[in-house]
Amino acid sequence: MKFPKRTPQDETPPANTVIGVSSSFRGTLMVTGTLKIDGEFEGDILNCDRLEIGEHGVMRSDVEVRDALIRGRVHGNVRALGTIEMKAGARIEGDVSACSVIMEPGVHFTGRCTMLEVGSEAVEISTDPRR
């Protein structure tokens, strides 16, 4: 039996930084890779590629990331140069902007949604030297 080959784009890398359930952090985080928040966070997040807010997670921050997956609560603005995905049960109070936005039924969203142009933002994160 043959299984279809998975490409690196299909796989989500595991979080290399986690704020666990019942944990609380206030301050500035410099994260390379993926940050998963299952507890509470308030402050600044710098240099983060992917942000994941778990269903018990609460974030009070304005962030800019490549991709975001939100299952919990966000109080602040989220800007993604790629995709923002909001799952059922998520509560977002703030503005979101991204090249692609996915919102499931059951999301509570209060704010503005801005679709980013693919042109200039895509060039910034491209690794292809021909562009």
Question: Residues 40, 55: contact at Cβ < 8 Å?
Answer: no
Buried b (16+ CB within 10 A) or exposed e, 71-110: bbbbebbbbbbbebbbbeebbbebebbbbebebeeebebe
The predicted model scores a pTM of 0.81
Is 110 among the domain residues? Answer: yes
Tally of domains in the chain? 1
Q: pLDDT by residue for the chain (131 residues), tens digit each?
A: 555 554 445 567 788 999 999 999 999 999 999 999 999 999 999 999 999 999 999 999 999 999 999 999 999 999 999 999 999 999 999 999 999 999 999 999 999 999 998 744 443 443 444 44
Which residues constitute the domain of residue 72?
A: 17-125
3 is a domain residue: no
> Within a domain: residue 73?
yes
Cβ-proximal residues to 125 (8 Å cutoff; 6+ apart), any chain:
66, 81, 82
Does 116 reside within a domain?
yes
7 in a structural domain? no
Asked if the structure places residue 8 within a domain, the reply is no
> Is 6 contained in some domain?
no
**131, two tokens:** 């562009």
Write out the two tokens for 45: 């997040």
| Domain presence at residue 87 | yes
